[in-house]
Structure 1
Amino acid sequence: MRLHISHKTHYSYDQPVPYGLQQIRLTPKSCATQSIQNWTIEIEGGREECAFDDQHGNRVQLIGLAAGQREISITCSGNVDTLPTNGVVGPHSGFAPLWYYKRHTALTKPGKLIRKLAADMPDNPDTIRRLHDLSTTIREAIAYETDRTDSGTTAEEALKVGHGVCQDHAHTFVSAARLLDIPARYVSGYLMLDDRIQQEASHAWAEAYVADVGWIGFDVSNVISPDERYVRVATGLDYDEAAPISGIVFGGAAESLLVSLQVQQ
């Protein structure tokens, strides 16, 4: 399937900004599940200061705001050919070793609720089946509801309140999988929805590493493994390491954000 993606993020400030720096991970890479046909990123109101590949193999760009700027726009677009692989991404690659993906972070640190959830999982010798059961269990425990959590909500907090979004589902999955001694990571990317083209935000899911198979994706929010409607962009231990855009602005300016995202065949 060929997907066309158009994603624009526009920041505006109520007064000139003396200095700001945005870190973006918005460049998908070809892999077993996808082939990038073309991809462009355009910056208005700032410029690229440097670019590098991080420990996960993500392409990272640092964008500096022009002095005195009150607006900055980041627009990426392109065509991606995707393949139905039942979520299988394949062998491990990148600079970080597999044991690194068993490490908990502030967002994925398990508390007593996640520890109980992991301990209650049946000891199925079929690791893939066990991971699907984990995905289903988390989806039943955390109802999908927007505007109830934010980017700073931890997996334990989401499980405690019983509601969240794809980010919370992914964090809870990787936290529990690591307790089961399975390497797991967070994925940010895009999902073509069946009922609309215009979307409010990008998507997130999780991947776990299974011996003799490799990395496999699990979208807890939709209780499936990613298919050809999905485009992988960045991976990390949690949202902070795979966030599409993050940054800092000096000064006291109030910030507003407008996102326009279209994903279509």
Structure 2
Amino acid sequence: MRLKVSHRTEYSYDEPIRYGLQRLRLWPASGPAQTMLTWALHIEGAREEVRFLDQFGNDTRLLSIDGDPHTISVVAEGEIETNDTAGVSGPHRGFAPLWLFEHQTPLTAPGTAIRDLAASVGDGGDLQRLHGLMALIQQRIAYVTGTTDSRTTAEEALVKGTGVCQDHSHVFAASARLLGFPARYVSGYLMMNDRVDQVATHAWAEAYVSDLGWVGFDAANGMSPDERYVRVAVGRDYREAMPIAGILIGHAQERLAVHITVEQ
């Protein structure tokens, strides 16, 4: 499937910015499940200082901001050829060793609720257990926007029983690690069946399975990624794979607007 993606992020400020830095992870790579055909970044109000691959193999750009911009816009867009691999994205790559993904982070640190969830996964083969875990998470966490934010931990989301794809992915990663699987968070895009316009990127999780490599599980939708998914960045949690992060020096008040389209 050939997908066309446009992702516009715009920051508006009520006064000039003294200085700022932004880190972008917005450049998808080709792999077993996708081939990048065209991709471009358009940046206004900031300048690109350096480009590198981070420890997880994500294409990463650092932008600097100074002077008097009141608006900063970043547009990532292009076309990706995708194919359905039943969620399998292949062998482990990147500078970070596989064992690093066995370790929890502050956002995925398990408490009683996650430990009980992992313990409730039944017996069976690796894929059977992971699909069972995904089904349990979909049952326990209703998809409700506005009830969690980027600081919400996996344990908090599971106890609350509501959240978004970020929370489903954190709970899956935390639980899979308790079950003995290296696990990671994936940031990307999903072509919706009922709309083109979106206001946020998508997220899912992957677990490492012997003889298969990394296998994806989207607990928010109860399925493994198919040809409607575009993967962009990975990390142990949201903070390590988020599309844009940054710091500002000064007292300017910030307003954020995000507009995403994903279509054939």
Give the alignment's TM-score, normalised by structure 2: 0.99
CA distance in 1 between counterparts of 2:123 and 2:100 reads 24
SS at match of 2:62: strand
Indicate the residue corresponding to 2:147 in structure 1: 148
Alignment of 1:198-213 (within 5 A): 198-213=197-212
Q: Is the 8 A contact 1:18 1:69 kept in 2?
A: no
CA distance in 1 between counterparts of 2:192 and 2:10 reads 23
CA distance in 1 between counterparts of 2:61 and 2:103 reads 25
Indicate the residue corresponding to 1:219 in structure 2: 218
Indicate the residue corresponding to 2:159 in structure 1: 160
Displacement after TM superposition at 1:69 (Å) = 1.6
Give the alignment's Cα RMSD to 1 decimal.
0.6
Indicate the residue corresponding to 1:187 in structure 2: 186
CA distance in 1 between counterparts of 2:239 and 2:67 reads 26
- The percent of aligned pairs where both chains have the same amino acid is 56
Indicate the residue corresponding to 2:43 in structure 1: 43
Indicate the residue corresponding to 2:173 in structure 1: 174
SS at match of 2:130: helix
TM-superposition CA deviations, 1:21-58 (whole Å, max 9, x none)? 11110000000000000100010000001111011100
Q: Is the 8 A contact 1:39 1:76 kept in 2?
A: yes
CA distance in 2 between counterparts of 1:31 and 1:89 reads 7
Alignment of 1:54-133 (within 5 A): 54-124=54-124, 126-133=125-132
Q: Is the 8 A contact 1:19 1:68 kept in 2?
A: no
Structure 2, unmatched stretches of 5+, are: none
Displacement after TM superposition at 1:67 (Å) = 1.7
Indicate the residue corresponding to 2:8 in structure 1: 8
SS at match of 2:185: strand
SS at match of 1:223: coil
SS at match of 1:89: strand
CA distance in 1 between counterparts of 2:99 and 2:112 reads 23
SS at match of 2:37: strand
Structure 1, unmatched stretches of 5+, are: none
Indicate the residue corresponding to 2:254 in structure 1: 255
CA distance in 1 between counterparts of 2:237 and 2:104 reads 9
Displacement after TM superposition at 1:108 (Å) = 0.3
CA distance in 1 between counterparts of 2:147 and 2:82 reads 32
Displacement after TM superposition at 1:66 (Å) = 3.1
Q: Is the 8 A contact 1:47 1:66 kept in 2?
A: no
Displacement after TM superposition at 1:180 (Å) = 0.6
SS at match of 1:11: strand
SS at match of 1:17: coil
